[in-house]
Amino acid sequence: MADLTTNFVGIESPNPFWLASAPPTDKEYNVRRAFEAGWGGVVWKTLGSEGPPVVNVNGPRYGVVYGADRRVLGLNNIELITDRPLEVNLEEMARVKADFPDRALIASIMVPCEEAAWKAILPRVAETGADGIELNFGCPHGMSERGMGSAVGQVPEYIEMVTRWCKTYYDKPVIVKLTPNITDIRKPAAAARNGGADAVSLINTINSITSVDLDRMCPEPTIDGKGSHGGYCGPAVKPIALSMVSEIARAEATRGLPISGIGGVTTWRDAAEYMALGCGNVQVCTAAMTYGFRIVEEMKRGLSAWMDEKGYARTSDFVGMAVPNVTDWQYLNLNYVTKARIDPEACIQCGRCYAACEDTSHQAIAMKPGRVFEVIDAECVACNLCVDVCPVENCISMVELAPGETDPRTGKVVEEAYANWTQHPNNPMAVKAAE
């Protein structure tokens, strides 16, 4: 049996599945249920400064994007940070941590961008026995209008400054949670590292309007006829998050910085993918909000079974293994030539590959009598669109041409040697370099 125990910036947890700071972790009752269900850690719903807590809207907080059969593909929310008094949250955190000493308990914090505010709250959090803190520089709605959340996360200088305050006034791990609502995720990540952050976590939610009510002509979720952008999360955001994670994992300035992966983790496989791209653990929210806490059982069993199958004894055995294979486009091997192959036995004759290729790509699929679909090698650029739209898994595959074979499209013999754009004669920069 694989060992799922993880040590993330010194914080031990029995498995790499943490609940992200969000509605599911807003109070003791939920968090106890989560730990009882087997979650490895919890990032408590974001705490604000002492004093009258924030208030939430009293209408819908969530909007949704559905796939087939009302499957939740994306969720957005306009909920703010905790709307319960700070003292109550701190007392509950202390109780839960005392009862679940083997689980990770992290306090998410969002207070104004003033040193005094951070200096005031950090000792209070430390007293709870929490294992670390996460700085919420990510929420894109509501709090950002007050100069917090993503308003901080979008300014690397503020990130560095606040992180430094935290490292000064708090002696346990500091995780900086990043907003994806920014052009280059490497900049805020580097700022966090410069400020002394022990890790970054990402992504927080994405600015979004899930839909428009066409009768009332207002965005969803709608409050009394008006809507405001919310933060988008769930399976739909995973590709965006994976890319951002990979950027941080391989950039010079941030390489080696521990990452907690967040964004649409729904199954063990999602988690394994994040971890392969360098995340020490993952945080989950939408999946739990959709299916309840019990889904962690599938995640744990699935990850464990896959690790056994692959021979990974512990998560650190595979964390980051895919990072070296993330590269820039310019370094992709232009001598790697593939052609689509349609397995006539598996084909169900829907013709989607044909429509996609004929209408929107390279006219490289022939439709023959009897609805037989065949790839025309002389036209196929190996774009993979047919594979992507085919409803039958493994019906269409991309087959590599061996070195020495001639590509009927280009008439060129496939070369064995790796060659990329930087070396290509069509690239003016390559010619200059050669001169």
Partner 1 sequence: MTDTLTPGIVAGRLSAKEIAANFADLHAPLDPHEAAVAADRCYFCYDAPCVTACPTDIDIPLFIRQIATGQAEAAGHTIFEQNILGGMCARVCPTEDLCEGACVREMAEGKPVEIGRLQRYATDAVMARQDHPFSRAAATGKRIAVVGAGPAGLSCAHGLARRGHDVVVYEAKAKPGGLNEFGIAAYKSTDDFAQAEVAWLMQIGGIEMRHGCALGRDVALAELEADYDAVFLGIGLGDVNALDVAGATREGVGDAVGFIADLRQAADLTALPVGRNVVVIGGGMTAIDAAVQSKLLGAETVTVAYRRGQDRMGASRYEQDLATSKGVRILCNVSPVAIHGNGAAVEIELEYTREAGTDLTGTGETIRLPADQVFRAIGQTLAPPDGIARAGTKLSVSGPGRTTRDKVWAGGDCTPGDDLTVVAVAEGRDAAADIHAVLMGDAG
Binding-site ranges for partner 1 (CB under 8 A): 68-70, 348-352, 354-355, 367, 371, 391-392
What is each CA distance from 55 to 48, 68, 222, in whole angstroms?
Answer: 12, 35, 17
Residue 289's φ and ψ, nearest 5 degrees, are: -70, -25
Residue 83's φ and ψ, nearest 5 degrees, are: -105, 25
d(CA 17, CA 261): 10
d(CA 195, CA 200): 12
Complex with partner 1: residue 301 or 371, whichever CB lies closer: 371
Contacts of 422 (CB under 8 A, 6+ apart): 330, 331, 429, 430, 433
Nearest approach in angstroms of CB 116 to partner 1 is 54
Complex with partner 1: residue 8 or 373, whichever CB lies closer: 373
Q: Which residues are catalytic?
A: 139
d(CA 152, CA 160): 10
Complex with partner 1: residue 67 or 123, whichever CB lies closer: 67
46 neighbors 25 (Cβ within 8 angstroms):
no
Q: Which residue has the tokens 């679940």?
A: 100
Complex with partner 1: residue 226 or 371, whichever CB lies closer: 371
Q: Residue 233: beta bridge partners?
A: 75
d(CA 41, CA 357): 47
Tell me the two tokens of residue 200: 């970054």
Contacts of 355 (CB under 8 A, 6+ apart): none
What is each CA distance from 159 to 20, 113, 122, in whole angstroms?
Answer: 20, 9, 16
103 neighbors 35 (Cβ within 8 angstroms):
yes
DSSP three-state, residue 125: helix
Nearest approach in angstroms of CB 180 to partner 1 is 29
Count CB neighbours of 214 within 10 A.
7
- The amino acid sitting at 189 is A
Tell me the two tokens of residue 209: 């309007």
